[in-house]
Amino acid sequence: MTVPELAVVSRGPDEGEALWVLGGLYTYRALPSETGAYLLVEVEGPNGLAAPLHIHDGEDEGFYVRTGTVRMVIGEQTIEASAGSFLLAPRGVRHAFVFASDDASLLLLLSPGSEHEQLFRAIGERAGTREIPTPASQPPNFERLGATAAKHGTRVVGPPPS
């Protein structure tokens, strides 16, 4: 097995590509092309920010709760995760999250991550500012979201947790 040669990656707090995705600010902290192994994304948003219940066919997803409380559904479990908690949703296991406090934020670690790097770009938009976006006037179109996610190895299988 050949190990790819990696360069040093250094990003300050206001660096990294930022996207508005499903009402949250998603900032790429490390890309698979840089790490050779994973995607690291910081997620900030309002209380109630949520991802629908979904399954990754080829990626494992780790969740590190930076601040606040995040309600996670992983498999058949619902977990109230507080700051400092880590959770893992292996590929093939359904999962979702909802921010359950005003100060919640997450780090997402996806391995290998290349599909999600492209998925977030496809369902989001480049952030005009490094601020949580103004709430949308309507909820996301989950049928369209599911079709786009499927092109990137993710199956949407239910609504976000409440």
Amino acid in the structure at residue 4: P
pTM of the model: 0.94
Tokens 């097995």, residue located = 1
pLDDT tens, the chain, 162 aa long:
566 688 999 999 999 999 999 999 999 999 999 999 999 999 999 999 999 999 999 999 999 999 999 999 999 999 999 999 999 999 999 999 999 999 999 999 999 999 999 999 999 999 999 999 988 888 888 889 999 999 999 999 999 998
Q: Can you name the residues that pair with 85 across neighbouring β-strands?
A: none
3-state class (DSSP) for residue 26: strand
How far is 98 from 112, CA to CA, in rounded Å?
23
Residue 159 CA to residue 98 CA, distance in Å, equals 11
User: What domains can you pick out in the chain, each with its CATH number?
Assistant: 26-126 (2.60.120.10)
Pair 6, 31: CB distance under 8 Å:
no
Please give the torsion angle defined by the CA atoms of residues 13, 82, 98 and 27, in that order, rounded to the nearest 10 degrees. 10
